[in-house]
Amino acid sequence: MDLNPPLFSRFVHDGLEIAYFDEGDPSGDPILLIHGFASSANVNWVFPGWLKTLGDAGYRVIALDNRGHGQSSKPHDPSLYHPHQMAGDAAALLVHLGIGEAHVMGYSMGARISAFLALQHPARVRSLVFGGLGIGMITGVGEWDPIADALLAPSLEDVTHERGRTFRAFADQTKSDRQALAACISTSRDLLSAEEVGRIDVPVLIGVGTKDDIAGSAQELAALMQHALALDIPGRDHMLAVGDRVFKKAVLEFLAEVGRA
């Protein structure tokens, strides 16, 4: 397998067109990948090598562009971007593909969506990998209103907020619909309670970069869960941890162990 962008297909759920790819070994264990805010299936999973890593390991690799992102529909209504709605898109994709149960891996916002998916559709989730989001799933991940402001600013030069500049530059680089992203960031940060997270009873791996100032502690989140392992991704911040070799190795070992259970 190479790193060329895979062929995307589309289906309709909740009145929106959702783009996805379905690659790797059709007979392999399926793993569903859910990307982070302002990213896409290609940016989060193909270009950093996850499609190749998981495909070479024999998995059926499925990833969607979340609503508002990539090649999927991009509504500008904030009421359409709550995590439970995006988790509904992910569950509908599994139904569309005739997949009863899958491993699920999400990064940042995608980790939050994955947790909602596990709570709403527990029978469809065999295991979970949360990347780039730890205890912030419960406590919050800081002030994000400046990011919405940055996305709607006339240009990057008009943005002074440091984190806002980072996400605005990323959105410009990926040629994203900034109005859709501003709508998404305003409502996609619904928190889960410690009790809700504690109800997730599948194996979970939580990977957070040691320089990540957004995610919050992986160890604190793992301590609230029934079958969770915490992983420090050395020297990586929120943007760079996703493609890290330590993270990939740990995920492959985790999935192999789950597969033997």
pLDDT at 261: 63
pLDDT at 256: 97
Q: Which residues of the chain have pLDDT under 70?
A: 1-3, 261
* Residues 129, 106 contacting (CB under 8 angstroms): yes
pLDDT at 260: 75
Q: At what angle do helices 109-120 and 83-96 cross, to 10 degrees?
A: 70
**Alpha-carbon distance 107 to 169, whole Å?**
19
- If phi > 0 it is left, if psi is from -120 to 50 it is alpha, else beta; for residue 38 that is left
pLDDT at 2: 46
- List the domains of the chain with CATH numbers: 9-138+193-260 (3.40.50.1820)
Residues 217-229 have pLDDT tens digits of 999 999 999 999 9
* Residues 66, 73 contacting (CB under 8 angstroms): no
pLDDT at 144: 81
**Alpha-carbon distance 36 to 38, whole Å?**
6
Q: For residue 128, give the 3-state DSSP assignment.
A: strand
Average pLDDT, the chain: 95
pLDDT at 104: 98
pLDDT at 3: 56
| CA–CA–CA angle 51, 72, 154 (5° rounding) | 105
Percentage of the chain surpassing pLDDT 70? Answer: 98
**Of 63, 18, 60, nearest in space to 36 by CA:** 63
